[in-house]
């Protein structure tokens, strides 16, 4: 087990942003499942971590759990839920990284998740159909993943993928088909918040691609925010103390004394040279004699 965890850590450190996002999502899923089993075994029902991490539609509760705007996009409850989200993220993330940096992918992921959460909150507090529903909470990376899908698809709409039983198809058609399915499901009682969030993430991804074609990267500010946040958790390196040396002008007496001492030392080396020859001098004496000859 220890070797497996070490391999995961190594993969995380050396992997791309796409790899790290997948590892984070899967790790959170596994940890929450393990904690859930422990809670069941010990009859702990007063605390539900998923609801604490999921973004609520009730604004007063959201204000007290503002962190859920980010945490919800890394939380999944069912195996199929996380499986399909990670598959979509992997497939379209690979395409995205052919044209953009991992930094941009990570920033678009977060922006897409935020867009999905904001549209979900607005919809469930303004649209009559959703107002009649019980106030709940939302989890899942779907909105963030949809931003990556739409961003890649509308940046390179002519790029094709080969699908089983279908053959080659442009990725933009896949993205549009997924968007239409979510739009037609907005009136469904099954996962209504999720479909709304998907629309938010998809619109953000489309906005990214269209703006990038116009020479503007809307993820830049988020990249700076993420960089700042990451630096908060990095250990700070201690600055090496600078050694300061003070110098002053030599007095005439000190100068004459130093010159007299050097002259005596050279005379002693010359006397030794006459008696023992050059080979009899030490390396230090040879150096001093050489330096004196250049003056």
Please determine, for residue 285, whether its predicted confidence score (pLDDT) is greater than 90: no
Q: Is 249 helix (H, G, I), strand (E, B) or coil?
A: coil
CB atoms within 10 A of CB 100: 20
Q: In whole numbers, what is the pLDDT of the chain averaged over residues?
A: 89
Q: What percent of the chain has pLDDT over 90?
A: 65
Within 8 A by CB and 6+ apart from 278, the residues are: 286
H or E element that contains 106: helix 102-126
Give the SS3 label for residue 138: strand
DSSP sequence for 70-99: HHGGG--SSHHHHHHHHHHHHHHHHHHTTT
Res. 165: pLDDT tops 90: no
- Percent helix, strand, coil in the chain, to 5, is 70, 5, 25
The reported pLDDT for the residue numbered 198 is: 97
Full-model pTM: 0.79
Tell me which architecture the domain covering 2-232 has in CATH: Up-down Bundle (1.20)
For residues 188 and 183, what is the distance between their CA atoms, to the nearest angstrom? 10
pLDDT digit string, tens, across residues 112-157: 999 999 999 999 999 999 998 888 899 999 999 999 999 999 999 9
**Rounded mean pLDDT, 219-245:** 79
Residues with Cβ within 8 Å of residue 111, at least 6 apart in sequence: 147, 204, 208, 218, 219, 222
Q: Is the pLDDT of residue 187 over 70?
A: yes
Give the pair of three-digit tokens for residue 75: 């939380």
Angle 151-153-154 from CA coordinates, rounded to 5° = 70
- Whether the pLDDT of residue 277 is over 90: the answer is no
Over residues 30-57, the pLDDT tens digits come to: 999 999 999 999 988 878 888 899 999 9
């Amino acid at each position: 087990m220890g070797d497996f965890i070490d391999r995961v850590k190594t993969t995380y450190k050396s992997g791309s942003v796409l790899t790290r996002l997948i590892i984070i999502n899967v790790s959170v899923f596994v940890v929450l499942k393990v904690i859930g089993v422990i809670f069941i075994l010990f009859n702990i029902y007063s605390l539900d971590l998923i609801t604490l991490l999921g973004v609520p539609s009730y604004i007063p509760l959201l204000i007290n759990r503002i962190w859920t705007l980010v945490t919800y996009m890394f939380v999944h409850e069912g195996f199929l839920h996380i499986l399909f989200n990670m598959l979509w993220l992997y497939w379209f993330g690979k395409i995205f990284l052919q044209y953009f940096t991992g930094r941009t992918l990570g920033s678009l992921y977060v922006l897409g998740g935020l867009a999905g959460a904001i549209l979900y909150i607005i919809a469930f507090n303004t649209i009559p159909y959703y107002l009649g529903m019980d106030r709940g909470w939302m989890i899942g990376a779907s909105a963030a993943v949809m931003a990556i899908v739409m961003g890649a698809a509308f940046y390179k709409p002519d790029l094709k993928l080969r699908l089983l039983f279908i053959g080659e198809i442009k990725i933009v058609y896949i993205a549009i088909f997924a968007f239409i399915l979510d739009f037609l499901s907005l009136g469904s009682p099954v996962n209504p918040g999720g479909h709304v969030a998907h629309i938010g993430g998809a619109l953000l991804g489309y906005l990214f691609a269209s703006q990038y074609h116009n020479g503007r990267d809307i993820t830049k500010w988020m990249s700076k925010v993420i960089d700042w946040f990451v630096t908060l958790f990095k250990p700070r390196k201690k600055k090496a103390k600078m050694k300061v040396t003070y110098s002053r002008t030599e007095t005439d007496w000190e100068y004459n004394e130093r010159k007299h001492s050097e002259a005596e030392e050279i005379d002693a080396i010359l006397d030794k040279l006459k008696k023992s020859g050059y080979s009899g001098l030490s390396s230090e004496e040879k150096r001093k004699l050489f330096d004196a000859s250049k003056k």
